[in-house]
C-alpha cells in the first residue's frame, strides 16, 4: 500500500463551525505533514510530525490544531476559520526524518475546504 488517503474530499463550513480533516497512511512512515495550497499557488508547509511529535509549526494560527494520534493517522482540527482559509489542504508522509534518500514525501489527494 503506497497510498496516503484523506477525508473528506470536500468540506464546506461556516466560520463558527468545528470540523476535522483526516489523513491516513499504512506505509510505516514516521513523518507526516500538513500543507495548505491556494489556487494556482505552490503548497505551503503548515506542520510536520516526526515520530508522532510535532516538529515544525510554521507559525500557523491557532484556529488550526494538528493532532497525531498514532503513526498512521494525522488530523487537522479546524475552528473559527476565516474565508481566506479556503484552500486545498494536502497531507503527506515520508519514511523518516533527516536528509536520507528514502525520505521522499508521498502526497494525498487533498481536502478542498471552503469557509463561508
Partner 1 sequence: AQTVTQSQPEMSVQEAETVTLSCTYDTSESDYYLFWYKQPPSRQMILVIRQEAYKQQNATENRFSVNFQKAAKSFSLKISDSQLGDAAMYFCAYRRNNNDMRFGAGTRLTVKP
Residues interacting with partner 1, by CB under 8 A? 31, 33, 40-45, 48, 50, 55-56, 90, 94, 97-99, 101, 103-110
Provide, rounded to whole angstroms, the least separation between the CB of residue 109 and partner 1. 5
Provide, rounded to whole angstroms, the least separation between the CB of residue 60 and partner 1. 14
Rank residues 82 and 104 by Cβ distance to partner 1 and give the closer one: 104
Provide, rounded to whole angstroms, the least separation between the CB of residue 7 and partner 1. 14
Rank residues 26 and 79 by Cβ distance to partner 1 and give the closer one: 26
Classify the C-alpha dihedral 97-90-61-69 as positive or negative: negative
Classify the C-alpha dihedral 93-95-97-103 as positive or negative: negative
C-alpha atoms less than 13 angstroms from C-alpha of 45 in its C-beta half-sphere: 11
> Residue 108 burial by CB count (10 A; 0-12/13-18/19+): exposed, middle or buried?
buried
Amino acid at each position: 500500500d503506497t497510498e496516503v488517503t484523506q477525508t473528506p474530499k470536500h468540506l464546506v463550513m461556516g466560520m463558527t463551525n468545528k470540523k476535522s480533516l483526516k489523513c491516513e497512511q499504512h506505509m510505516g512512515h514516521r513523518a507526516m505533514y500538513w500543507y495548505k495550497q491556494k489556487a494556482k499557488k505552490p503548497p505551503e508547509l503548515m506542520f510536520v510530525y516526526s515520530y508522532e511529535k510535532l516538529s515544525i509549526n510554521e507559525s500557523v494560527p491557532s484556529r488550526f490544531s494538528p493532532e497525531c494520534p498514532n503513526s498512521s493517522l494525522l488530523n487537522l482540527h479546524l475552528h473559527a476559520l476565516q474565508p481566506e482559509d479556503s484552500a486545498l489542504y494536502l497531507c503527506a508522509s515520508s519514511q523518516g526524518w533527516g536528509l536520507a534518500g528514502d525520505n521522499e514525501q508521498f502526497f494525498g489527494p487533498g481536502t478542498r475546504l471552503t469557509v463561508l
